[in-house]
Amino acid sequence: MFQDQVPVSNVSNLPYPAFHVYSQTFFSTVFRPSNIAAWIFAVTFNEMHIYSVSSLTKELKSLVENKYRFIQVQGEISNLKVPFSGHHYFTLKDDGAQLRSVLFKGQTRYLEKPLQDGQQIVCHGRISIYEPRGDYQIIIDTVDFHGSGLLQAQFEKLKKKLHAEGLFAKEQKKALPLYPKTVVLITSATGAAIHDFLTIWRKRAYPADIKVYPVRVQGDGAAEEIAAAVNRVNKKLPECDIIVLCRGGGSLEDLFAFNEEVLARAIAGSSIPIVSGVGHEVDFSISDFCADVRAATPTAAAERIFPDFFVLQQQLIAAKEKMTDAVVEQLEDYQQRINQNRRLLGDMNLLFTNVSLRLDHAAESLIGTMHKNLSHKEQIVNQLSVNVQNLSPGNRLKLQEQRLTFAKEKLSYLFRQKLEEKSSSLARQSALLDAVSPLATLARGYAIAEKLPTDPKKTNLIHDASQINKGEEIRVHLHRGKLTCKVLSSS
């Protein structure tokens, strides 16, 4: 090719043949058109540098590798192949182009999960040319799945913003109660995290009331759902002592619901202390920085919240023994000092008799007070033990079974009583109805007479003989049956 617009005076300073630097204008003035073809042929084969395929490929490889030494390329995995060598060969493609890619076996140990066709990834590496085929390719050092590098950038940006606003400040952190009574667990109802948390609670036998608020912990809308749960617990359960955000480990994308600003502000605005037990020990989320206490795992959160009941009991017993030994030791020391002073003072026993009595009384009072306090502590421990037993599912089931049996017996008794009342009432009403019934009167030999009606819907009862004329037909109702009669005479 020609390098146009390069001055002739600079030709001697250029590292390539003069033919490449002459301007097109100079070229057209020196040679006639009839001689151009012959001149080009001569110069090309006599003066132009001729590359071999290998040398040209090496030079291009050097240029490409120096130019694209550290790059990031995003695309979709296609035609993934893993031969016996353990290297990963695949094509990284998008809608408009594709790029050969290789991930050597030694780098696969840094993968978060295995590569698969169809995955969207971000590759970090360098561009190189594979000389035997002349193909350019990317040699990959690390892989981010689903654009986790972008998620990490969003995480750092939000972290910096909230830190500047003071949401992570230590002075805003609320202290956890030493002995919480009610704990609300905001987590997935089907995840393993809730089982890990409750396992520690059961092992420590601590008598706390655990309430579970089920939410989604990953996916679109999960952060808003968790934030709404935090706000609702603050509003509807003010008696709650601690809120625990609980979720097991996962990738940065899986845990990103806990890196959303809406959840961070809900945590910061909570009047109830919040413990963040999200992920594994190496995982950090925005909720960890905003929460009052960060626990490395759900298990660690339970260990941080619940004291061990049996350890407390042992500590109380040890404290009681230590206090008793200290008091006895101090009293013995006082007694030894008194005896020593008595020996030094000789016959001054009468002078110190009153003081000794007061000391003995004070010792008795102190021991009595000590026993009283220890008894009170023992009562507390016993009450806690009773509470633990009462909270046992077996005891609760027995109590509910007794209540159900009592309710069934009571319902049966009330039903029989009501049935008897209704039967008695029905008998009385039946007797009264029978007493005033005209059928009872007919049964005693009486009858009811009426005119034969012209209108079937009307009846004319006969109360007076003057109502009937001779020769008319009447109907007579008896206790059993009816008679149609003809009047022969009336009086």
Judge whether 101 lies within some domain.
Answer: yes
Q: Which of 55, 65, 81, 85 is nearest to 138 (CA)?
A: 65
Q: Is 358 within a domain?
A: yes
Residue 67, CA distances (Å) to 58, 71, 127, 181 in order: 14, 10, 8, 64
pTM listed for this prediction: 0.41
Query: 183 and 77, same structural domain?
Result: no
Query: From residue 105, how far is each of 110, 253, 353, 461 by CA, in Å?
Result: 10, 25, 93, 117
* 160 and 291 part of one domain: yes
Cα distances (Å, whole numbers) of residue 466 to 458, 463, 472, 488, 490: 20, 9, 12, 13, 8
Q: Which among 241, 238, 244 has a CA at the least distance from the CA of 182?
A: 241
Instruction: Give the 3-state secondary structure of residue 138.
Output: strand
**205 and 252 belong to one structural domain:** yes
25 within a domain of the structure (yes/no): yes
Same domain (yes/no): 211, 78:
no
Contact by Cβ (8 Å): 174, 291: no
Q: Using an 8 Å Cβ cutoff, are 58 and 64 in contact?
A: no
Kindly state whether residues 162 and 303 are assigned to the same domain: yes
| Contact of 86 with 103, CB cutoff 8 Å | no
CA 260, CA 267: separation in Å to the nearest integer? 11
In a domain, 316, yes or no: yes
Same domain, 299 and 315: no
Q: Last residue of some domain: 307, 342, 366?
A: 307
Q: Is residue 160 part of a domain?
A: yes
Same domain, 163 and 137: no
Q: Report which of 194, 239, 240 is spatially closest to residue 215, judged by C-alpha positions.
A: 194
pLDDT at site 6? 34
| Cα dihedral value 56, 58, 60, 66, nearest 10 | -160
Residues 233 and 274 in one domain: yes
For residue 33, the model assigns a pLDDT of 46
Whether 428 is covered by a domain: the verdict is no
- Considering its fold, how many domains does the chain have in total? 5
Do 317 and 296 fall within a single domain? no
Sites in the chain below the pLDDT cut of 50: 1-46
Question: How many C-beta atoms surround the C-beta of residue 115 within 10 A?
Answer: 18
Q: Encoding tokens for residue 105?
A: 């076996």
Q: Which two tokens stand for residue 218?
A: 């990953």
Distance CA 84, CA 413 (A): 82
Task: Report yes or no: 224 and 262 within 8 Å, Cβ to Cβ.
Answer: yes
Using alpha carbons, select from 33, 32, 6, 35 the residue that is nearest to residue 19. 6
What CATH number is given to the structural domain containing 126? 2.40.50.140
Residue 343 lies in a domain: yes
Let me know if residue 2 belongs to a domain. no
278 by DSSP, 3-state: which?
Answer: strand
Distance of alpha carbon 285 from alpha carbon 274, whole angstroms: 14
168 and 280 co-located in one domain: yes
**Domain with 212 in it: what CATH number?**
3.40.50.261
Q: What DSSP assignment string belongs to 340-385?
A: HHHHHH-S-HHHHHHHHHHHHHHHHHHHHHHHHHHHHHHHHHHHHH
Which residue range forms the structural domain that includes residue 363?
Answer: 310-390
Residues 272, 175, single domain; the answer is: yes
pLDDT at 348: 60
* Same structural domain, 316 and 295: no
| 59 DSSP β-pair partners | none
Q: Dihedral of CA 372/377/380/385: which sign? A: negative
